[in-house]
Amino acid sequence: AGTGTPAQLNQNDGLAIELGVKFRSAEAGYVTALRFYKGSQDGGTHVGHLWTSGGTLLATATFTGETASGWQEVTLSAPVAIAANTTYVASYHSSAGYYVATTGYFTQAVTNGPLTALASGTDGPNGLYRYGTSGFPTSSFNSSNYWVDLVFAPDSGPDTTPPTVLSTTPASGATGVLVGATVNPQMAEQLALD
C-alpha cells in the first residue's frame, strides 16, 4: 500500500490523462485493488486499470466514494493472478486531467514487501502517462512517480488441508443394517409396461 506525499500536487496539462507505474512481484499472487493519490483540485472521474507489460488489459475498475484528496482505493471485481518476476503496469485515468507527481523518483527501484516499482531502465522507463482517452500509458518524463499503487495478496498455493468428517452413517461396526431402495412409482409402471 502506498505511503508518502507527492512533491507536486494538482498538476494539469489541459488534457485528460492516464498515469501508471511498472511493477514486479517477487512471488506469485493476486492484485486485489488499485490505488492512486488524489490532489485536492481533482474532481473528475477516475478509472483504474491493470495491464501486462505489453499493454493487454487485465482489469478495470471505477473509483467511487472518493475523498477530497489523499489515497483512493478501488477493489477489483475479481482478484487478478500475477506471476512472479514479471512486469505489470497499474494505472488510472483522470478525466479532468489532474495528477500529482514527484520527478526523478524512479531513478532507483522502490521495494515494499514482495513488490518492487522498477527503476527506469530496468524494463524501459517507469512513471508512465498517456494524454487523451484512457489507454495503455507508454510515455515517461524524468522518471516521475505519479503515485499509482496496488493492493497485493500472496498466492498461498493449493488448499492441502484434508476435509473434516463430521458424521458417518451407519456407525462404524454396526450390524443388522437394513438396506433398501425406493423406486419412483411412475418409473416402475413404465418398466412394467415395457
Q: What's the confidence (pLDDT) of residue 187?
A: 41
Structural contact between residues 146 and 100, judged by C-beta atoms closer than 8 angstroms: yes
Q: What's the confidence (pLDDT) of residue 163?
A: 75
Asked whether the bond before 185 is cis by omega within 30 degrees of 0, the reply is: no
Structural contact between residues 76 and 50, judged by C-beta atoms closer than 8 angstroms: yes
Q: What's the confidence (pLDDT) of residue 179?
A: 60
State the amino acid at position 51 in one-letter form.
W
| Residue ranges, the chain, pLDDT below 70 | 1-3, 156-161, 166-169, 172, 177-194
Please, which residues have CB within 8 angstroms of residue 49's CB and are 6 or more apart in sequence? 18, 20, 34, 57, 59, 60, 89, 90, 91, 92, 93, 134
Take residue 29 and report the three cell numbers written for it: 499472487
* Length in residues, the chain: 194
CA neighbours within 13 Å on the CB side: how many for 40? 2
Q: What's the confidence (pLDDT) of residue 175?
A: 72
Beta bridge partners of 167: none
